[in-house]
Structure 1
Amino acid sequence: MLTAFRWLLRIFTGLVLLVLMALAVAYFFLSRSLPDYSESFTLEGVTAPVEIVRNNANVPHIFGATDEDVYYALGFAHAQDRLWQMTMLRRTAQGRLSEIFGDRTLRIDELLRRLDLYNLSIRSVEAQDAPTRTALDAYARGVNAWIGEVNARARGRGAPEMFFFSSDIAAWQPADSIAVIKLMALQLSAHVGTEVLRARTSLLLPDARLRDILPDDPGQAITALPDYSDLMPGVLPGQPSTRLAGDPLSPVKDRAFAGASNAWAAAPERSAASGSLLANDPHLGFTAPAIWYLARLELQSGGVIGGTIPGIPAILVGRSDRLGWALTSSYLDDQDVMIEEINPDNPEEYRTPSGWAGFETRRSIITVKDRDPVTITLRWTENGPVLPGSHFDLGTITPQGHVAALAWTALSDADTSMTSALRLMQAQDIPGAIEAGRLYIAPAQNLMLADRDGVALQLIGAMPARDSGHQTQGRMPSLGALPENRWLGRMDYDRNFRVVNPGTGLLGNTNNKTVDRPFPDHVSFEWGDTHRIRRWLNLMQTREVHTRESFIEAQLDTVSPIARAALPLIGADLWFTGEPAPDGTPERFRQQALELLAEWNGEMNEHLPEPLIYSAWLRALQNRLIRDEMGPLADEFTHPDPVFIERVFRDTEGAAKWCDVIQSAEIETCTDIARMALDEALIRLRETYGPTMASWRWGDAHQATHDHPVLGEVPLLRYFVNIRQSTSGGDSTLMRGRTSGTEPEPFLNVHGAGYRGVYDFADPDSSVFILSTGQSGHPLSRHYDDLGVLWRRGEYIMMSLDPELARAAAVGITRITPRQVAPAP
């Protein structure tokens, strides 16, 4: 027995040693791609010595003799810290994910090939002005210089992910940077999905009920639309969804996550220190690392600092000494679905206003890992690319003998958005920044500006010019052969919404409606917010003057205006009614929940049970209200809509009809449905979080999911690459934490502010910023998640343009000197 024990101990010890050795070897190879920030390089492509000074947050401060050298160094720094992220963005835009991920990403590649974003980007390079082409070339040389170092010096293939998904890294091209902008436009555009959903819903519901479940922004009158079944005979309701948005590698997002953000500004007269203030927190899906990367560039026009996206050589949100700029999603309606009729005698032709015309056709071969290549036929009409029914649920609303084409402003082969971004970064004042926006195409954004003298808001992005007689006003798919449905080009930039130095001295946008102009000058019928703006107005109006701290307080505000408005409506007949119930009964449990909610101020604090009870109640309530009328289509409405809930409980236009269960013999009231929904929510919460209500925490359900889009689902590895944090906030708080809305964890925080910045022009170097993860994309780097710890606590780091401050707290200085190239003989 003793001998057997000794052998077992030896075997166990040997296995442990083997595992430790394997881990040590793995760590050695994976850590080879960690850059040394104090290293010096002699490289081709720069004209004079360049310094990349990284402060203690690993933010690169780049100093060079020329702008060209600075852009080169930014490309070098981006590649050092985010090479895998950059290559993935490029592969996505090119439609080449399946080369390394196989069948999983085939539909994503097919969509990107049909949209042809990458070829459009190649052609758009020549549309840029000369300084922008120079910047793109220099940036690409910087990226490629680091790739060259990786290959020449065995630096762990540049990123740990390269060991799991071995692939050669192609040289970076100027078109790659433009393609990243177009990819962001796809991620931030949701009107095609909204059009399809409205059409699908209209096939099931009468017009009055359609206005309930897909409500217009309150206060805006909409002319009645034709029934979709009349426009497209033969389309049947209730067809199954073919959603593409579920994969974390997909750039296509559900309408709930298509884009959001906050920005507000105060003119000097509304600032306590008599200097303009500007705050910005753009919202995107959470990933590890975050999409944002902080950088400071010392250009000939002056220093600029703020948020970049790796792959793009520009400070997209940030400030200089003279100007601050911020972005929010504008919700401009820049997409239309066109239903094209196919010639029954010749499937290679489609109907146009002047008769049948041939599709523009070519083939594209998609290489797929572990299987034969897939060849697809790409077709374009005069309106745009033809998309298959398997994308955006288009098959559910396209009649037989027709196909769907997409008209979209981003499908331009002369896209000058990059030139606009670089000009904006070098603008010296608000008029210069507004003029820089003239060349911007997509994604459409609200540009918030502040300089030393004032504030402004400018809608940037190409606005489609539509005919006033458009059949659906762009709200649903329409027949592409009818002239009145076709675009008439673009509107003049001067018709874009603009406000400069308002009399109140305050400007703000939370994706709320900005204009109330009639169609076709309307900007959009769909807006991203109707409630957060109310909370912002309340916070702004409580003070005569503002400070950096009051702007930070607003960014971190977690009070839900929806909770304050909805709970008195849905619980009006439930509070303080009935006799006290015995402990342990469902009735008593409900009473305890109602007692907590009655005393709650609507603060979505991670340590409280009330936000969890409220959120689960509204989720169960909306599902009960719509499930019997809508069936499987109810799955498309993943988040409770406060306007819908309010319409139902106020019985607006007979909306209380939703409360009666069609399949039930009884006539249920809204009070009945509210009570049943609360009981259902409490049962589910009890099963998940235990029987003690006081121990429930919103933060346990509302964890921020900064997951690695590739390795985040791999067993064991997920614990090293995913960043999970308990967070406050919710769907409709200013510190927005959009929930997933899908089972089994519907309250995970999956979409929010990956970047926050507050700039004070009374003391510019006191400006602050933060990222939701860290600067590095390398899981073994201490800068992979270091800023995320501060972000979760609502803290910031200083945002100074003083070079001495950067040097004083430097974690390393990378020096690049030019290599002398011998002249040709």
Structure 2
Amino acid sequence: MRKLKKTLLVLGVLLFMAFLGVFIFLNTLKPSYSGEKTMPGLSQEATVYFDDYGIPHIYAENEADAFKAMGYVHAQDRLWQMELLRRVAKGGLSEVFGKDLVETDKLFLSLGIDEHTKETVSQLDSNTEVVKLTEAYLSGINEFIKSGPTPVEFYLTGLEKEPFTISDVYNAIGYMAFSFAMAHKTDPLLTNIKNKLGEEYINDLAISSDTSTVWIRNHKKSKLDTLSNSLTANVSSALKALPIPQFIGSNSWVLSPEKTRNGKVILANDPHVGFAQPSVWYEAHINTPTFEKYGYYFAGIPFPVLGHDRNLAFGLTMFENDDIDFYFEENHPTDSTKYKTESGWKDYEFMAKTIRVKDEDPVKFTYKKSRHGSVSEYMTKGFEGENPIATSWIYTKIDNEVLDALYQMNHASNITEFQLALPKIHAPGLNVMYGDAKGNVAWWATAKLYQMPDSVSTKFILDGTNGIQEPLRYLDFSENPQSINPPQNYVYSANNQPDSIAGMVYPGYYLPENRAKRIVELLDAKDDWDKASVSEMILDITSSVNPELVTDMIKLIDISGFNEQQLILMDELKNWKGDYPKESISATFYHRCEYFVLKNTFEDELGKEQFEQFLSTHLVKRHIAWGVKMDDGVWWDNVKTEDIVETKGDIALKSLQDAWTSLINDFGEDTMQWQWGKVHTLEHGHPIGRVDALRKYFNAGPFPVHGSREVINNMAFPYDSTGLYKVNSGPSTRRIIDFSDVENSISILPTGQSGNPLSEHYKDQAQMFVNGEFRKMMMNKEEIIEKRKSILKFLKK
């Protein structure tokens, strides 16, 4: 017995020591928010004050020193995120996650981002301030890689840390430019529908611009007149495996002094990005004697994409313009290395790539390029046709000056200087929102737009052989949609259709009017907005469109055979205001019905696979309201019932019955169990959180949440057969900058500032975000010093 006790005691001590060792080791992997560190290349000391949420306020005597410090603190919180992001464009995800990511790597290699980066970097002038500050930022990242602790993800994946280069910066920009890939999801699908079902089915889809919906209004006359001027299936599958978030949409509005209680501009912005852990933005405040900016940084990019100071503020939404076209090429009948053009046969360019795969042999991959762009067999697999398809993407066709644009935007001191930077953003297409302390408000759609022949629709795969479906010209930036100090005293964007300055419709994958209609409705109603009322509006969960759809469909349904419980629910639905609190039952029932309306309308013609592809496009969102208003149309008929021609009323009744049955099967007959919060949940997933045993350590959530798709608080989700509405995208931050009190402007992040799971700031804002709370974006140095949580000093070596 004594020996057993002694053995157990020894084992207990060993286990305790092992636990203590692991605890001590893990603590060494945390970010350093205090102390002193030497930094090679610093000219003078730089001081970083961290606030209660881990946000760095960097004070230095010059920008180069500030950007070195910025690179270091950004890397210690987000190195893993930076690592994944720089790997996307050059096909490096399989090396981390294994063979499941090979198709994703093939997709991004085929896009040609990395090749375009190599060309851009070869032409850079190392003496420009843009390059100097970028290199300073990279030196800070690399100093952390050299001397800082290794993030836990590198140990779990066995990945070695490697220095960052300026090529990694441009590859990150390239991924940002790829954005939401709607062309890849939509154009081949529409071409398949047209070829398989015919023009009649295409005409009954919401493809063209609907002039009856809310459009963004242009306005160029202002007090600033002197300003200077199966591809689908493969892509969907590849993007689903992507371990980092994609840009989706966004809201923003900027109020002129005439619309605010305090007579100063207010800017609100909530860019919509795929939810993930860590979240997309890193927040930081830089201050030198000649430069100050409070910004939101994309991983691995030195200049913030969202930012403000005491003079001006800017935000963004996705323009959703069509900057990717697809072309059928025709191979030579006897020589597959050549393709047909209007001037004869031309040689393909062949690009050989090798993808390194974790625990597997490398995968060799070759794609070819025509004059239009990459022609990848991978990209065209599953398309119902034999001709090769080339991808023509504006990003890889134009000189890349996006980094220069970000530098100039962040160093502009007024609206004139700010606007001069914008023509350099050729892709991604962005709605850039602007407000300043002098009372100016503005919106510009930034992208290199081009004009196609009038008879050409870029929503279908084009003929690349004859030269008659090519762009006619690039538009000058002055022809881009824009509005400066308009008479309505506000500008806004909700990814909806913009009006035209150039007398033409700009092709795009615009989202429906739902959010835009609600934004205009609320902004037009009052002229005394302040920070509190704007923060309430940015959390709005009411749809102005959905109750109209309910009314339209209910009037078609014969309810004489309904039981008492069904009648009660129908009455509640009839009186529903279109709002989405977690307690709502009508919200749950509405979305079940809407899903089954789509399923019963489209799946019989499209089949299960293409129907699921259809659900992943913006087209289906545009079609919902437009289609419900269509009394007659070919899609309403179920082609599988040969002796019956179904009507819209038949589809409405069947969909309601299907929704009722599915909810009972899922939650029982007690409708109080059908509350929105039970089915509408948010979980921020980390790539390693996909392993069940590690999920609770790396993921944040799940949380039941208010909101829905296409309301201002756009907590969006995909439709699928599960009947669960798991939120996959939404506000990546909510920012409100009030120039009447700029130092008390407010914001929030979806999870936390740090991407390090061992940091106290990994998910310390997650519950606040769900609750609709905000925190201050501090800019006053005295307050920052007084309320600092910790200080980290960088000393010159």
Is the shorter-chain TM-score for this pair beyond 0.5, marking a shared fold? Answer: yes
Distance 1:648 1:262, change over 3 A: closer
Check the 8 A contact 1:281/1:754 in 2, yes or no.
yes
Distance 1:220 1:595, change over 3 A: closer
1:330 is matched with which residue?
319
Check the 8 A contact 1:467/1:484 in 2, yes or no.
no
* Cα distance in structure 1, aligned partners of 2:173 and 2:693: 34
2:218 is matched with which residue?
none
- Using the TM superposition, give the Cα deviation of residue 699 of structure 1 relative to its aligned residue in structure 2, in angstroms: 1.6
- Using the TM superposition, give the Cα deviation of residue 430 of structure 1 relative to its aligned residue in structure 2, in angstroms: 1.7
2:152 is matched with which residue?
160
Q: 1:590 aligned to 538, 562, 566, which one?
A: 566
- Using the TM superposition, give the Cα deviation of residue 651 of structure 1 relative to its aligned residue in structure 2, in angstroms: 3.4
* Cα distance in structure 2, aligned partners of 1:16 and 1:183: 51
Q: Match for 2:471: what amino acid?
A: W
2:420 is matched with which residue?
435
Check the 8 A contact 2:192/2:384 in 1, yes or no.
no
Q: 1:554 aligned to 517, 530, 537, which one?
A: 537
1:179 is matched with which residue?
171
Q: 2:332 aligned to 330, 338, 343, which one?
A: 343
Q: Match for 2:613: what amino acid?
A: E
* Cα distance in structure 2, aligned partners of 1:103 and 1:604: 40
Q: Match for 2:132: what amino acid?
A: T
Q: Is 1:268 aligned to 2:260, yes or no?
A: no
Q: 2:52 aligned to 52, 56, 60, which one?
A: 56
Q: Secondary structure at the match of 2:708?
A: coil
- Using the TM superposition, give the Cα deviation of residue 10 of structure 1 relative to its aligned residue in structure 2, in angstroms: 11
- Using the TM superposition, give the Cα deviation of residue 333 of structure 1 relative to its aligned residue in structure 2, in angstroms: 1.3
More deviation in 553-562 or 408-417?
408-417
Distance 1:657 1:790, change over 3 A: closer
Q: 1:634 aligned to 607, 611, 617, which one?
A: 611
Q: Is 1:565 aligned to 2:548, yes or no?
A: yes
Structure 1 unaligned residues grouped into runs of 5+:
222-237, 582-586, 820-825
2:223 is matched with which residue?
none
2:371 is matched with which residue?
382
2:782 is matched with which residue?
804
Q: 1:795 aligned to 773, 777, 780, which one?
A: 773
Give the 5 Å matches for 1:200-349. 200-219=192-211, 241-245=233-237, 248-250=240-242, 259-299=248-288, 301-349=290-338
Check the 8 A contact 1:127/1:415 in 2, yes or no.
no
Q: Secondary structure at the match of 2:759?
A: coil
Q: 2:660 aligned to 678, 682, 705, which one?
A: 682
Distance 1:18 1:382, change over 3 A: farther
* Cα distance in structure 2, aligned partners of 1:468 and 1:564: 40
- Using the TM superposition, give the Cα deviation of residue 20 of structure 1 relative to its aligned residue in structure 2, in angstroms: 6.9
Q: Match for 1:476: what amino acid?
A: F
Q: 2:464 aligned to 452, 461, 480, which one?
A: 480
Distance 1:101 1:648, change over 3 A: closer
Check the 8 A contact 2:332/2:340 in 1, yes or no.
yes
- Using the TM superposition, give the Cα deviation of residue 310 of structure 1 relative to its aligned residue in structure 2, in angstroms: 1.9
Q: Match for 2:789: what amino acid?
A: V
2:39 is matched with which residue?
43
Deviations 1:128-181 (A, max 9, x none): 68111011110110000111113xxxx2x2x11111111211111112112111
Q: Is 1:108 aligned to 2:87, yes or no?
A: no
What fraction of aligned residue pairs are identical, expressed as a percent?
24
Q: Is 1:407 aligned to 2:385, yes or no?
A: no
Check the 8 A contact 1:648/1:656 in 2, yes or no.
no
Check the 8 A contact 2:430/2:447 in 1, yes or no.
yes
- Using the TM superposition, give the Cα deviation of residue 445 of structure 1 relative to its aligned residue in structure 2, in angstroms: 0.1
Q: Report the aligned-residue RMSD.
A: 2.7
Q: Match for 1:201: what amino acid?
A: I
Distance 1:30 1:355, change over 3 A: farther
Q: Is 1:96 aligned to 2:92, yes or no?
A: yes
Structure 2 unaligned residues grouped into runs of 5+:
214-229
Distance 1:88 1:650, change over 3 A: closer
Q: 2:77 aligned to 77, 81, 86, which one?
A: 81
Distance 1:591 1:415, change over 3 A: same
Q: Secondary structure at the match of 1:278?
A: strand
More deviation in 258-267 or 523-532?
523-532
Q: Secondary structure at the match of 1:503?
A: coil
1:192 is matched with which residue?
184
* Cα distance in structure 1, aligned partners of 2:154 and 2:599: 43
Distance 1:554 1:562, change over 3 A: same
Q: Match for 1:360: what amino acid?
A: E
* Cα distance in structure 1, aligned partners of 2:635 and 2:137: 60
Number of residues of Structure 1 aligned to a counterpart in Structure 2:
773
Distance 1:589 1:477, change over 3 A: same
Check the 8 A contact 2:113/2:396 in 1, yes or no.
yes
Q: Match for 2:366: what amino acid?
A: T
- Using the TM superposition, give the Cα deviation of residue 127 of structure 1 relative to its aligned residue in structure 2, in angstroms: 4.1
Q: Secondary structure at the match of 1:418?
A: helix
1:754 is matched with which residue?
732
- Using the TM superposition, give the Cα deviation of residue 412 of structure 1 relative to its aligned residue in structure 2, in angstroms: 4.5
Q: Is 1:418 aligned to 2:403, yes or no?
A: yes
Q: Is 1:578 aligned to 2:560, yes or no?
A: yes
- Using the TM superposition, give the Cα deviation of residue 592 of structure 1 relative to its aligned residue in structure 2, in angstroms: 2.9
* Cα distance in structure 2, aligned partners of 1:97 and 1:304: 33
More deviation in 641-650 or 99-108?
641-650
Distance 1:239 1:86, change over 3 A: closer
Q: Is 1:455 aligned to 2:453, yes or no?
A: no
Deviations 1:555-597 (A, max 9, x none): 100002232111101112448x437x6xxxxx33422321221
Q: Secondary structure at the match of 2:269?
A: strand
Check the 8 A contact 1:574/1:675 in 2, yes or no.
yes
* Cα distance in structure 2, aligned partners of 1:275 and 1:800: 19
Check the 8 A contact 2:185/2:231 in 1, yes or no.
no
Q: Secondary structure at the match of 2:510?
A: coil
Q: 1:602 aligned to 568, 575, 578, which one?
A: 578
Q: Is 1:491 aligned to 2:491, yes or no?
A: no
Give the 5 Å matches for 1:527-538. 527-538=510-521
Q: Secondary structure at the match of 1:737?
A: coil
Deviations 1:31-70 (A, max 9, x none): 3210221121112121111111111111111111111111
* Cα distance in structure 2, aligned partners of 1:714 and 1:268: 51
Check the 8 A contact 1:45/1:142 in 2, yes or no.
no
- Using the TM superposition, give the Cα deviation of residue 666 of structure 1 relative to its aligned residue in structure 2, in angstroms: 3.9
More deviation in 633-642 or 305-314?
633-642
Distance 1:502 1:301, change over 3 A: farther
* Cα distance in structure 2, aligned partners of 1:168 and 1:319: 36
Q: TM-score, length-normalised on structure 2? A: 0.91
Q: TM-score, length-normalised on structure 1? A: 0.88
Q: Secondary structure at the match of 1:728?
A: coil
Check the 8 A contact 2:185/2:613 in 1, yes or no.
no
* Cα distance in structure 2, aligned partners of 1:679 and 1:56: 52
Q: Match for 1:294: what amino acid?
A: E
* Cα distance in structure 1, aligned partners of 2:337 and 2:11: 65
More deviation in 116-125 or 444-453?
116-125
* Cα distance in structure 2, aligned partners of 1:592 and 1:19: 61
2:130 is matched with which residue?
132
Check the 8 A contact 2:541/2:708 in 1, yes or no.
yes
Q: Secondary structure at the match of 2:103?
A: helix
* Cα distance in structure 2, aligned partners of 1:120 and 1:706: 32
Check the 8 A contact 2:206/2:626 in 1, yes or no.
no
Q: Secondary structure at the match of 1:485?
A: coil
Q: Match for 1:312: what amino acid?
A: I
